[in-house]
Every structure is written in C-alpha cells, then in structure tokens.
Structure 1
Amino acid sequence: MVIGAGHAGVQAAAGLRAGGYGGPVTMVTTEAHFPYERPPLSKEALDQEVDAASLSFSLSLRPHDFFTDHRISVLRGQAIEIDRLSQRVQITGGRRLGYDHLVLATGASPRRITLPGAALVGVHELRTMSDALALRSALDRARRVVVLGGGFIGMEVASAACKRGLHVSVLEQGDRVLGRAVSPPVSAAVAAHHRAEGVRLLLGDQADRVVGRNGRAVGVQTVAGEWLPADLVVLGVGSIAEDGLARRAGLATDDGVLVDEWLLTSDPRISAIGDCASVGDAATGTSRRLESIQNATDQGSYVAARILGDVPPYHALPSFWSNQGALKLQMVRSVPGHDRLVVRQGDAGFSVLCLQDGLLTGVESVNDSAIHMAARRLLSRITPTEIELEEVDFDVRKLARRAMTVDAALPGSP
C-alpha cells in the first residue's frame, strides 16, 4: 500500500508493476483530482494562456486508464492511523486496509504562520491543484498582489502575476531571494530579473499582519512599517514534511520521516519516500530531506526495486529547477554547502561552480543548460578536484569530455 499519490507514490506503484509484482497495489490519496504533476502548479497552471478546464487532464502524471490497466487501485480518503502490529491502516469512513509493506509518500504542506488576517478572503496558499485553480481565478480579478516569501514558489507566483500585468510586491525576511536554496550570484541575478520586470522586492522585512475590510484582504502591514496595498496575498513561506501519520504510529521523525540508506523507517515493513522522507547518512550521522521531483521519482523507483529484490543502498544525485519568466534555473549538488564559488559565463547565461574542501560538489546555472548538463554528467561519474578544474580553466565541458573519453577507453566499454 502507498499513502500518497504524488510523484513519489505513483512512481513506486508503477515501479512495482513494471518489476513484475503481482499482488494488490493500492494508493490512498486525499486529492479529488487524478495524480498530477506538481511543478506546473506555480507556473503553467497560473498562465492565462493555458486553458484552465484542461489542466487536470494535461498535468496528469499518467493517462487515466494507466491505473486500471496496471491494476493499481486509487482510493480517495485520508489515512488516519497505522496499526503496525496488525499491519493495517485506518482510512476515513471507517475503512481498514491491510498491507504487506507500507510506503509513506505523504509529501509536504505549506508552512503555517501565525499571522493576523491570514484567514481573510483573498489570502491564498499553493500546494494542490485545487489551490492552483483558486489562485488562478483570484489572479484574474486582482490588481495588486503581495507575495509573502522569496523562495521558489513565491518567485514563480510573482513571475506569473507580473506576466498578467499586475502590480507585484514580494516580502522576504532574509537579505536575498532564494537565500536558502542558491548562492548569492544566482540570487542577485533572480532579483535583478524580477526588478526589471517591475516586481518590488522588500528584503529584510516581514508581514506584521494582513489588513482586511469587510472580511476581505486590502493590504499587508510590515514589521518595518511599510504599507502594501493588495487585493490578493499569497503565502509562500516554505513547507514542512507531512509526517504526522508517521509520528502517531511511533515511527522516528525529525523534519520528516527518518529513513536509513535503504529508505526504510524504524519499522522495516514501512518505507518513506519523497518530500516527507529525511534520509540518514550513516557516515556523518546526519539526515537530509529534499523537496524535488527528481528526488521523489528516484526514491519511488528505488523502493519498488528494493521491495522486489536485493539492491545496493540508495544513492542519487539531487537536482532542482525553476522557471521564472525568461529565467531558467537548474541546480545539481552532491552535498549541501560550499566554501568557494567560481562563476563561469556561458553563451546566454552563467553557471556557478560550488566547491567544498577542494572538490566540485554542485553547479547552479541560469540560462546555461550546456554547462549545466556537462556538470551533471561529471558529478554522476566523479567528483572533480579544484586542481582538475583549474587545468581546464574551470570549463566543466572540457572536463566532462575528458572523463567520457577515459570511460570509453576502459576495458569492457562499449
């Protein structure tokens, strides 16, 4: 049984069938819509030029008949409790379903903030298809938009609103946008792009309250005393793992459901994958939770393979992306953090090479797909040293070609 029908859950269910699993496969979801892609919710789904009526169909993760054809049951309801002793899950409506192995793919939800006025009409958050459709409708009627939070969701929503010709302000309590996700050079490029598009960025400040009139939002008052008129306020202040079901079942949690290098929880009959899973590193004693489609898909495939047979410990190269108007951001990193940055100009944009202890550990690219793809190829094979990068003047394309040439010359290479 799989709890959750996002990218991770669907990939796990599909992987089981692709691998020849013949037993029952059930996905439990609270969503009214068939399983769908989530990244477009803050992009294409908000675009006036995209037909709203066809969104549910066009964003489907699989054709609707895929689940029937592959004997995957999609059960709508909420998982309330896991009885680990009897290996049963209680679902709303009094239903109790048994499992041989349980996969938690419950995802993440918007971070709740204690903010006066957050319940006013005109205040929106964005997580589900229903949220996106409601926000899209609100954008159709809005003139002034205030986005709380300068992370990926906030900046993508700001871009969509700006494209509609609306007056947009972004309020970010940090000193730069995307501050927890990318390096300063990329943050600066994103900020410059949005300012050039007419977005007002207020950094180092945060909302004190949303002000309403007759039950509807009319503006935001900031802690620093700024007054921002608004008929639409979007909450984009981050997300938290949906790990309440796991906690109630007595599973180990810490900013997500804790799993080992095989993505197993503290109960070996239960796995956790995707945005809700915090993966432990036995070597460092730390854990890390990632929110990305690539991560969710990789972990879904891995858990399906592990259930079907022996596999090595989980390992994948995390990657992320974001489209904001004319900006295409691509990020890949093997470990978080850096102690040196090297900026390389590309044909139409630039890339930032992130080094830690003399090793290339990540690359962030802005409109620079060629360098980014070369970096992905490199990091999937080796971790180049700073000396190796200096030899090619920090041109990762040259180093990638060199690595591929060496691979081709090895005995047994095709």
Structure 2
Amino acid sequence: MLQRPRRGDPVWIWVLHGWEVFSWGLIALVTLITMAGGTPTDRKLGILALTAVLALCYGLVRTRPAGQPAAGYGYLCVLVVVLGLLSYLGDGFGVFYTVTLTQFIVFADSPRGAVLFTGLGALAITLGGSLREGGQPDVFLTNTISSLGVWAVAVVMALLTPRALAQRDERAALRAELKSTQLELAEVYQRQGAAEERERLAREIHDTLAQGFASIIVLAEAARSQLAVDVDRSAQQLQSIEQTARENLAEARVLVGAAPRSGVAPGSVAVTLRRTLDRFTEDTGLDVTADLADIDCDRPTRIALLRCTQESLANVRKHAAATTVGVVLAHGPDTVELEITDDGRGFVVEDSHGFGLDGMRKRLAEFGGGLTVTSSLGDGTRILATIPLAPDGQE
C-alpha cells in the first residue's frame, strides 16, 4: 500500500494522493446530486448504501498499520464490486471508475496488482452499465471501448508510479548518506580538534609548568647541598625557587583560563629574552653571551621565541654539561632568527625523539617557521629557530 507522501517525494506521488483526496469530494458531490434528483427512491437508497460502504472500508484500511497489502487488496475488491453495482443502479456512475483510478494504484503493492485491479474495475463498470441498459451488443461495445481507454490511462499511471517511488527512495538514500557523512565529518573534526587541543595543552605544560618544576627541583637540590657552606647562595636559590613557583602559578592560571593573557609583556622580544637569560645565569652560574637585536614582534611570535629559548636552556641545564651558552637574535630579510649554541657534550640528532624538540618544531610550524638542530657528540649543539615576520612587526 502506497503511504501518504512525505517531504522530498517526487511531484508524481503528491499528484496521486491529491487526486485520491479530490476523488472523494467528487464522489460526495455526485451522490448528493443523485439524492436530490429524480432517481427512484429504491435506487437512491442503494447508491447511498454502496457509497457509505465504500467510504467505511476506505476509512478502515487507511487507519490500519502500514505493511499490510492484504488490507489494500481487500479494499480494492470492495471497490470493484461497488463500481459495478453503482454503474448498474445509476446512469453516469461509471465516471466513478475514472475518479478512483488513483486508489487502484495507491492500495496495490505492485504495478502488476494495479494493472489487474484497474482492469477488473473497467470490466465491472462495463458489465454494470450494459446490464442497466438491457445488455444490448452495441451498448456493450461502446462501454467496452470507453472503459478500455480509461484502463489504458490507468496502466500508464501504474507503470509510472514505481519509477517515481524509485526516484524518491534514491533521493532519500542520498539524503541519508549525506547526513551520515556530515555526522562522520563532524565527529572527525571534533576528535581532531580535541587531539589538537590536547597536544597544544601538552606543549604549553611542557614548555612552562614542567620546565618551571624542573628548575625548582634543581634549585632546591643545590640550595640544600650548599645550605651549610654558602648561606647567601642558598638564599639566592630559594628566592629563585619562589619566583619560579610564582611564574608557574601564573602560567597555570593562564592554562585553565583564570587569567586572560600570558605573562609575556609587550614590546621588544630582546627585553623578554634578556630577563630569561639573566635568570638562567643566576640559577646555573653558566657563562651566557647574548647578542639580541631590538626587534618588535607581535605577541604570539614573542611567546614562540621565548618558549624556544626556555626549552633550549632547559636542555642545556639537564643534558649538555656545558660551560658557555651563546644566544643570538637577528633580523633576517623577512624573518626573525634565534640561534642558541652551547659547548656541551652534544648528541646524535637522528637518535633524539624528545617531546621538547618536537614541540618546538610544531610551535614554529604554526607560524610558517622552522627549526634546525645541529649537533654531534663532543661538539656542542646549535639550535636555529626562524619565524616569518608580519609587516612592521605589528601586534
């Protein structure tokens, strides 16, 4: 049984159902006209009773759950009988066959069933009309030709409807596939966004909190070992521990959103790096030489250069066993370049898979920059970070 149309159905399906609704209006109108006309009373009562039976059966089958073709075919059997009897009782009631053509298609579950029952309907009105007029051969022939013409139209409609339904189902499948694809893409983007955010937070934690805690541990160990030997030095180290802890607390507030910005002050990146290098010299006692050009960068670039510097100095402190460190900040043609060198033990770059260097590469890549690491065992290490500069270094 063809269900009522839904959004996205082809126009042909809407036309079928519109015609089905319209047919009942015409049946009611013709019945009322007949009741008010000069048809004999017994015939009027017969016509009224048949119309009522047909309407009742229609209502019953329409209220049944979908997927019950037997109910639809049962109604079509009633429709064929009622059409034949109406054609027999009243002149002109054969038009009901034309009016109800769509019902044969709507209530049949296959083109073959629709063609068969429309043919039975044509036969019923032909026999009913011919018997009403006395069964004369010429009348029977005329009725037959007329019925065959209408039946031919019904056959065309029955054949077109499955194509329209196939088109509807194809569009529905495409819409479902598109919706499924959109949901999958949304989930992929959501997972990708979550992964990128986790990676960003991990990098920020490594470059800020983790480095700060590492400094605190080193300073605390040094202060404890020198507490009985050099009280002034231990006091200085304790002061550095306090300052580092305060900076970590500020960075933690930034990471959790309790503070609006990082603690990197606006202005020249050289000023920002100088403070970091002074703290490093104070905490480690290493000899640091710095040649820092006065370059104005936007805030994200200053933060990236600062994080690269902090990570490089942390690696020097933990791994290099160096005695001197050199830092050069220079202005290239369209880039800012940060070079950090040490005279430590060096390492094999290809064997290094640490989170710090990888984090620096990814951070610089976000700005279209790059990281070059040059090192070998016993020959120290050179870190070169480059970032393209925005015009005029604007914020």
Q: Does TM, scored on the shorter chain, surpass 0.5? A: no
When normalised by structure 1's length, the TM-score is 0.18
When normalised by structure 2's length, the TM-score is 0.19
**Over alpha carbons, which structure has the higher Rg?**
2
Higher helix share: 2
Tell me which of the two structures has the higher relative contact order, counting C-alpha pairs closer than 8 angstroms and 6 or more residues apart.
Answer: 1
